Structure 1
Amino acid sequence: MVDTTERRPRMQGVLERIAEARRGDSSESLAAAFLLVATLLALGWANSPWGWTYDAFWHGRIAITIGGTGIDLDLQHWVNDGLMALFFFVIGLEVKRELAIGELRDRSQAAVPLAAAIAGLAIPAVLFLLLNPSGEEAAAWGVVISTDTAFLLGALAVIGPGRAERLRIFLLTLAVADDVGALAIIALVYTDELHPIPLVVAIVGLAMVWQLRRLQVWRGGAYLVVSLVTWVALHESGVHATLAGVLIALLLPVYPPKRREVEQAAELTRRFRQSPNPEYAREARLGLDRAVSVNERLMRLYQPYTAFIIVPLFALANAGVALDGPTLAAAARSPLTWGIVLGLVVGKFVGITGATAIAVRLRPGGLAPGLTMPQVAGGAALSGIGFTISLFIVDLALAGSPALADEARVGVLVASALALVFGAVVFRVGARLSPQPEGPSRDLLRPVDPRRDHIRGPVDAPLTIVEYADFECPFCGKATGGIRQVREHFGDQLRYVFRHFPLDDYHPDARQAAEFAEAAAGQGRFWDAHDRLFAHADELDVDSLRRHAEALGLDADRLEEDLRDGDEANRVVDDEIDARTSELPGTPTFYLGVAGQPPRRLEGPHDAATLIAELERLRASESV
């Protein structure tokens, strides 16, 4: 691989190292910490002896003019309308990715969080309007519709339950749908007047982005120029300019890397290693970029900026409400303030929890394995943290009334604090009402499902072995011989179930081998691929997998298309999350069961003699 880190701007390198140094929940906690610090700084600044400088600074005007025409905004609105367009652009990239190759691709899996998101948008708005049915305050109903994803995931990492990866995925899916609803409402409700000529220019700009995509233009520079023109045109049209970011993001292509382009990038990299020079370095870098979709590259590029600079800067520019006696007294009496608190704290909790409970009752099995209703309730309570987009809509809905805007901001701050405390309480109460066993449970987390699982033997056999394995794991390869002996011993009385648990830190090719096996399953050849991959566990690189496909007689074009659509990768990740949630110690791990009882994890040796003895014991205990 070519290390291009030094060629990036220094700030980008610093931000990427911040993001890369922490994985999963840690990066989300760090982003939430940046946002919290910025909020506290804004409040401290606005309530300090120099508080008058806060408004003076953010309301200082900056104009950019060319030939007598241009844009004249105060500094706060350059942040809100300009920089936040990049924030909404990243949201749009995430939405597009989830719709194309992520959690929202499988509508059946996304059905419950989608239903919860819709209720989490509607119920808060209804509760808000009960207290503010008319007048200028009623226009602020959009303040209560959206959840702050950064604060939500950061809070979940700190106060959420352990082994809650399924809850995190549920809330992420919900947040994506929540963002779509919030953005649609901003576009439809908070647009004042339309100017047709700039709007036509913006539409032409969006059409040009679509044309660039159709022509398979992969460099970001072309998209950047068109995007800037589109942003200016949309701003001048009267539609909120931040929506330019969302619309452009939804038009950009997203796809898993294409095999041909990956191989070309590898060849260019090999040439550079053999003969290091600037020309080969440039070609290798461009080849690597070309292999990854524009969506993924831009999301990777801009996420650190939005998480650690733009969103905290937005908080610094918008959260600075003066918490003096008159302001707090007005807020305490204000239906606007209490409507926001009611909508966010109560509405989000009731809407998300209630819709999830109804959806699960109508569709049993709608919740992912390991995800419980007490966990959903805790996540729903935390969803009342509606900070970033809530403050954003305050500025749109109440721009003409500074006093009401301050009351609304107080409501957002109070609601976010209450939602955090409420979430912690709900998680604690849920843990007492539905206590989790200390340490990992020995029961199989996800029941065997013939529609989903890969099964050898009769699907209704009375005895079951479930194995979590890794195609590159030498112990798993040896275990396959033992499984063969066990199957020969029990015959049609046994069903064997294989699930994936690729250990990336130890076996770099295991994941692509697992995805290859899933793609082979699409051609009815999973077990053929399974046997061959274990027989050649030291030959799982891309070239070797191509040879395995030829040896198995697989349709190469269909195989590549299936690998690119993301379903195979999602299927492997699904098994992997189950394994991590169950805190499996490694591979291979076996679960043994008998009809009528959930399979339980086998502790200790897993040779053929031990497996046969344990299954015989289970069968004997069942017959008694």
Structure 2
Amino acid sequence: MHLESTSATLLVIASLLALAWANSPWSHGYEHLWETVLSVRLGDVGLSMDLHHWVNDGLMVVFFFVVGLEVRRELAVGELTDRRRMVVPLIAGAGGLALPALIYLLLNPSGEAAHGWGIVIGTDTAFLLGMLALVGPAVSTQLRIFLLTLTVIDDIVAVSVIGVAYTEHLEVAPLLVAGLALVGIFVLDRMKVWRAGPYVLLVLIAWVATLGAGLHASIAGMLAGLLVPAAEPTRAQMEVATSRFRAFRQSPLPTLQRETRDELTRTISVNERLQETLHVPTSYLIVPVFALANAGVDLRDGVLGEALRSPVTWGVVAGLVLGKTLGIGGAAYAATRLRLGRLPQGVGGGHVLGGAALSGIGFTVALLIATLAFDSETLQRDAIVGVLLSVVLASVLGWVIFQVAARFLGQRDAALPKLLTPPVDPERDHIYGDVDAEVTLVEYLDYECPFCARATGTANEVRDYFGSRIRYVVRHLPLPQHPHAELAAVAAEAAGRQGRFWEMHKHLFEHQNQLEHKDLAGYAGVLGLDVEQFLRDLEDPALAEHVREDMASANDSGARGTPTFFVGTHRHEGRYDARTLIAELERDATGETARLGVRSRR
């Protein structure tokens, strides 16, 4: 959120600078700068474009590539793996496409002006999330995910419109090359290629070929990003990387250093590594430079007055500000009323309407389409004025709606719950350590999750550090993508009936890849349990219900993945290595001691 709010601030500064420069006595310098030609050549082969085109057709490809990467990651391992969560935001996104375009065409039904309908369909994802950080609820993580899901359809449709509706002539041969490059990225994914270099090379080929084909290169960036694979690290990868690191620690040789680095790199998907590399330059450099290159409209000599009388200007304003607010808000309301889906936990109707208003910030995509939609410089100017006005009006409207929702509807934070619900119950929960220990660490876990406590050693290190001062509590959160996790959780509970929960807990993590029914029966025998009783308990509905109660508890407490830790009664966010958790537990212990001291003095 800090990255996005800073990016939004830089966007505003760059836009104001561009406007001030374009309306100053030195405005010819602004025009001359972006008309400067930059050529990159190797012999007779190369690219030659002015700086304005290098920004719009080059740097912006990186922006759309990052958007594609984010969408692919959310679909593969993020919030959108549960397709049910996509229903309401996608319906809302469709409303936010159709109504703005309709409003624009009602005001500009014919002639060249009608060609600008695509200006109002897109949302500037970076600017939207940045303004959300500035004017939205103090904590808006769930609303952010809802809006990011919503902009998936905006981005895909907007880029498709750029590539199809605003392309006049296509060259077949370069188009085939671009298609082959994209197929090559898909093949690299199938072949499990983990180095980023081959993917980047094919993205560059797709970009150059798309330019040669006559398509706007943004479509190559988006499609390439959608094809770059995203996946969670596997247990096997983690174990190999750990063994390499141990070998390097014992023998710090250059060859082992290289092998260790490669294995560590392999555990993180190409998608996430590229996002990590590109996010900061995209937010802090590329998007502000785009604003600087495109927001500079000369409004002197009555130009602003003419633009404010233009139906194109007000078509853009009405489409983006009113169309997005009513289209997204109305479609989301209809989807929930018809029970087609539900809003994310923690997100209210006021939050959705405020986010819908901020979606009227079409800045980056809208400016890009404005330069493509019209041949007339006058219409381009009018559209750009409309886009800039929409940024201000949509931001103010969003702020007002969020304030009203907070004051009159009590809809303040749009975030997941942070309080452990229900609290630890010694009669029900499995507690390792003294029931009345000084600090409490609760973990929601999945026995097939490679990152949970036994796989990483986090819980062991924390318990070793605190000794008798800590009680460690386990609750179950088997994830849908892990087919044996729920049965394994029931097996742990069945062993618990015979007083061997922690022994089975350890055994399950040591054999994460072998959790079939027959495997569990074998583990019961190894642990010396009454196997027949164990097998009967595996079928006991009461134990399955116990696991489901833990899952409901996780939902009520804001736990969405594993491992999720609670320090005392509050959900821990961020890194969950042993050092971080120890520091959080110590702070919690200090705070609790201080609170007890105040009570005793009273």
When normalised by structure 2's length, the TM-score is 0.75
Q: Which residue pairs with 1:391 in the alignment?
A: 367
1:26 Cα deviation after fit? 2.0
Residue equivalent to 2:166: 190
Name the residue aligned to 2:408. 433
Contact 2:89–2:146, Cα closer than 8 Å, also in 1: yes
Q: 1:546 aligns with which of 510, 527, 546?
A: 510
> In the alignment, what sits opposite 1:135?
111
- Report what 1:246 is aligned to: 222
Q: Counterpart in 1 of 2:383?
A: 408
Residue identity in the other structure for 2:509: L
Contact 1:468-1:500 within 8 A present in 2 as well: no
Q: Please, which of 332, 336, 354 is the counterpart of residue 378 of structure 1?
A: 354
Report the Cα offset of residue 213 of structure 1.
Answer: 2.2
Q: Does 1:43 align with 2:19?
A: yes
List aligned pairs for 1:412-423, cutoff 5 A.
412-423=387-398
C-alpha separation in 2, matches of 1:66 and 1:548: 54
Deviations 1:70-108, CA, capped at 9 Å, x for gaps: 332110100111111111111111111122222233221
C-alpha spacing 1:41/1:540, structure 2 compared with 1 (3 Å): farther
| Superposition deviation, residue 150 in structure 1 | 1.8
State the TM-score, normalizing by the size of structure 1: 0.73
- In the other structure, the counterpart of 1:154 is 130
- The CA deviation at 1:523 is 4.4
Contact 2:14 2:288 in 1 (8 A): yes
String of CA shifts for 1:578-614, please: whole Å, max 9, x gaps.
799xxx9954589xxxxxxxxxxxxxxxxxxxxxxxx
Cα distance change on mapping 1:342 and 1:500 into 2, 3 Å? farther
In structure 1, the residue matched to 2:245 is 269
For 1:529-567, what per-residue CA distance to the aligned partner results, in whole angstroms no more than 9, with x for missing partners? 4687997879999x98224776996869xxxxxxxxxxx
Deviation, 1:43, is: 1.7
Query: The residue matched to 1:477 in structure 2 has which SS?
Result: strand
The corresponding residue for 1:477 is 431
Change (3 A) 1:75 1:257: same
CA distance in 2, matches of 1:579, 1:85: 33
Matched, 1:219 2:195: yes
Shift of 1:174: 0.9
Report whether the alignment pairs 1:29 with 2:5.
Answer: yes
The structural deviation recorded for 1:123 is 0.6
Q: Which residue of 2 aligns with 1:526?
A: 489
Q: How many angstroms does 1:110 deviate by?
A: 1.2
Q: Given residue 577 of structure 1, which amino acid in structure 2 is its aligned partner? A: G
Confirm or deny: 8 A CA contact 2:417 2:558 kept in the other structure: no
Whether the 8 Å CA contact 1:477–1:537 is kept in 2: the answer is no
Structure 1 residue 236, shift from structure 2 partner: 0.5
The answer to whether the 8 A contact 2:417-2:557 is kept is: no
Count of aligned pairs: 508
Whether the aligned pair in 1 keeps the contact of 2:37 and 2:49 (CA below 8 Å) is yes
Distance 2:414 2:77 in 1: 31
Aligned-partner Cα distance in 2 for 1:329–1:368 = 44
Contact 1:500 1:572 in 2 (8 A): no
Tell me if 1:577 matches 2:558. yes
Judging changes above 3 Å, is the alpha-carbon distance between structure 1 residues 523 and 424 closer, same or farther for their aligned structure 2 residues? closer
**Percent of pairs with identical residues:** 43
SS where residue 324 of structure 1 aligns?
coil
Distance 1:158 1:181 in 2: 27
Looking at structure 2, the residues matched to 248 and 100 of structure 1 have their Cα atoms a distance apart, in angstroms, of 15
Equivalent residue for 1:467? Answer: 422
Q: 1:101 to 1:236 in 2, by over 3 A?
A: same
Q: Is the 8 A contact 1:477 1:535 kept in 2?
A: no
Q: Deviations over 1:425-484 (max 9, x none)?
A: 1122223331359x999xx979xxxxxxxxxxxxxxxxxx9536799xxx97269989xx
Alignment of 1:61-80 (within 5 A): 61-80=37-56
- Matched residue, 2:587: none
Kindly report the root-mean-square deviation, in angstroms, between the aligned alpha carbons of the 2 structures.
Answer: 4.0
Would you say 1:94 and 2:81 are equivalent positions? no
In structure 2, do the counterparts of structure 1 residues 529 and 189 end up closer, same or farther at CA, with 3 Å as the change threshold? farther
Distance 1:530 1:385, change over 3 A: farther
Query: What SS does the corresponding residue of 2:558 show, helix, strand or coil?
Result: helix
Structure 1 residue 207, shift from structure 2 partner: 2.2
SS in 2 for 1:62: strand
Cα deviation digits, residues 22-80 of structure 1 (max 9, x gap): xxx22221221222222222122222221111111001112234443533211010011
Where do 1:437-452 residues align within 5 Å?
none
Give the structure 2 partner of residue 369 of structure 1. 345
Structure 1 SS opposite 2:119: helix
**Structure 1 residues 79 and 549, CA gap change in structure 2 (3 angstroms):** closer
Q: Is the CA contact 2:417–2:556 (under 8 Å) kept in the aligned structure 1?
A: no
Equivalent residue letter for 2:491: D
Match of 2:333 among 328, 351, 357: 357
Aligned-partner Cα distance in 2 for 1:309–1:360: 39
Partner residue of 1:313 out of 289, 292, 316: 289
SS in 2 for 1:186: helix
User: Which amino acid counterpart does residue 477 of structure 1 have in structure 2?
Assistant: I
Residue 168 (1) aligns with residue 123 (2):
no
Q: Is the 8 A contact 2:160 2:219 kept in 1?
A: no
Q: Is the 8 A contact 1:81 1:242 kept in 2?
A: yes
Kept in 1: contact 2:476–2:489 (CA 8 A): no
